[in-house]
Amino acid sequence: MERAIRITEDIPVAHEADVAVIGGGPAGVGAALSAARLGLKVIVIEQANCLGGIATSGWHGHICIYSSWARHDERVVGGICHEMAERTVKRGYGAFDNQSFDFEVEPLKLILEEMAAEARVKVLYYTQFSTAVRSGGRITSVIIQNKSGRQAVNARMFIDCTGDADVAARAGVGFDKGRPDDGRMQAMTLMFQIGGVDYDKVRAFRQGGGYKEKYGEDAEWWKLSGVWKEAQKNGDMEPFQDQIMGWWFTPTRPDQLGINFTHIPRRDCTNAEDLTYATIEGRRQAFHLINVYRKYIPGMEHCWLSHTAAIVGTRESRRIHGEYQIHENDLVAQKEFDDSIGYGSFFIDIHSCSGPGMDAETWRPPQGFKYQIPYRALVPKGIDNLLVAGRCVSCTHKALGSLRVMPQCVLEGEACGVAAREALSANVAPRGVDVKRVQAQLRTQGAIVFDKDIVRS
């Protein structure tokens, strides 16, 4: 049997833009809105049927963390990410504090589409990125596939917001993947939602029993890990997870909870068969957990599975080789950069690459922890018209444990949108832009770039 075929075809150019954003998740939303609001013609290529990525298709109705670590009086994320939260809360579909943003998924889909329409962003759903066409040091086109067939999209600047560095990889940019010793990546998770919850009882259970006084911020971990151990000892729960269960309430439906608890390690989300397996296994785990919750969690005695997410949540895959690689030591030292484009503040949260729970290298920071993200980490080496935002930026495996969360993805995308405008206006590659101009524009847009921008209350 032949292992490869070769075809020659003429692919029509279906779209032309100043900026093509590949991926409409949190990073893609930030990039597209930022570039379009600055007057550029922008197209977003998105494989799903909505914007928002893991927040919407992935049914992760909780975005954390907007504040410096454990300091609710210091908001370190602004700009488009904060605007999304404000719009949603104003419409009555969310709850926001400096710590996090809980929201209803369906309204957020609509709100993001409204924001895109206001900025005159062209959105193309149900469309897969296929490959990049490169000439010398530049990408000239990306090839897409959808119901209209194979098409080309021409642009002057491309922003890879795929999460997996798909565009960068197809264009020949170097990358790392997984742990440096064995290449294994953090576990995947399929989010799901349950109904029939008595949230007051659930909250009382989470906060009771004296665990808070004994364990402080780790109280819930100790309490729930004991529940899972008991359920597993009794043969009621499979040992795919043994840690804290992430859950968030739906602001206008307190009888419903979003759940972040399924755990599928030892799989590669850049492999179609592994991605399929993770989705099927995650759905199976979700059904299995319903009976566990009914039996062991007060307030969930009558819960039922509302639905599982349309896409599986992936924490790690490719990380580009950029002009600067963010190291975990940069985070721990709370390093400041001359080319800062914003802040991160999440703990180094590494889900096990080989089994249940968290990796031993997970790191809990001190109160007030925050660090700056350098622009150079968004700029791939060896190519002149590509920027990257989201969890595939240039960083180490450990640093990704903090950088991968949604607020940082949005602010990186927003910075890429501004940098694209600056690069095109000055006729330079992204690595050659005047970073001070990028920073000034980001601050004009409400982004928090420097310490003096932090909102303190």
pLDDT of residue 123: 99
Phi, psi of 163 (to 5 degrees): 85, -30
Can you tell me the distance from the alpha carbon of 385 to that of 420, in angstroms, rounded to the nearest whole number?
8
Can you tell me the distance from the alpha carbon of 327 to that of 338, in angstroms, rounded to the nearest whole number?
16
Phi, psi of 453 (to 5 degrees): -90, -15
- E strands of 253-303, at which residues? 253-260
When computed from its CA atoms, the radius of gyration of the chain, rounded to whole angstroms, is 22
Helix or strand (DSSP H, E) at 17: strand 13-22
Can you tell me the distance from the alpha carbon of 328 to that of 325, in angstroms, rounded to the nearest whole number?
10
Residue type, 293: Y
Can you tell me the distance from the alpha carbon of 416 to that of 77, in angstroms, rounded to the nearest whole number?
16
Q: What angle do the packed helices 26-37 and 406-426 form, to 10 degrees?
A: 30
Q: How confident is the model at residue 70 (pLDDT cuts 50, 70, 90)?
A: confident
Class of CATH domain 13-181+316-349+360-456:
alpha beta
- pTM exceeds 0.85, yes or no: yes
Q: How confident is the model at residue 353 (pLDDT cuts 50, 70, 90)?
A: confident
Can you tell me the distance from the alpha carbon of 71 to that of 50, in angstroms, rounded to the nearest whole number?
33
* C-alpha 210: how far from chain center: 34
* DSSP assignment string, 19-77: EEEE--SHHHHHHHHHHHHTT--EEEE-SSSSSSGGGTTT---EEE--EETTEEEEE--
User: Do the beta carbons of residue 415 and residue 439 sit within 8 Å?
Assistant: no
Output the average pLDDT for the chain: 93
* Cβ count within 10 A of residue 134: 16
Q: What are the extents of the domains in the chain?
A: 13-181+316-349+360-456, 192-308
pLDDT tens string 200-226: 898 888 776 645 544 455 556 656 778
pLDDT tens string 369-428: 999 999 999 999 999 999 999 999 999 999 999 999 999 999 999 999 999 999 999 999
Over range 148-167, report the average pLDDT: 99
Q: Which of 409, 380, 379, 441 is nearest to 29 (CA)?
A: 409
- In this predicted structure, the answer to whether residue 96 has a pLDDT above a threshold of 70 is yes
User: Do the beta carbons of residue 215 and residue 222 sit within 8 Å?
Assistant: yes
Phi, psi of 16 (to 5 degrees): -135, 140
User: Do the beta carbons of residue 409 and residue 25 sit within 8 Å?
Assistant: yes
User: Do the beta carbons of residue 350 and residue 84 sit within 8 Å?
Assistant: no
pLDDT of residue 215: 45
Helix or strand (DSSP H, E) at 436: helix 435-444
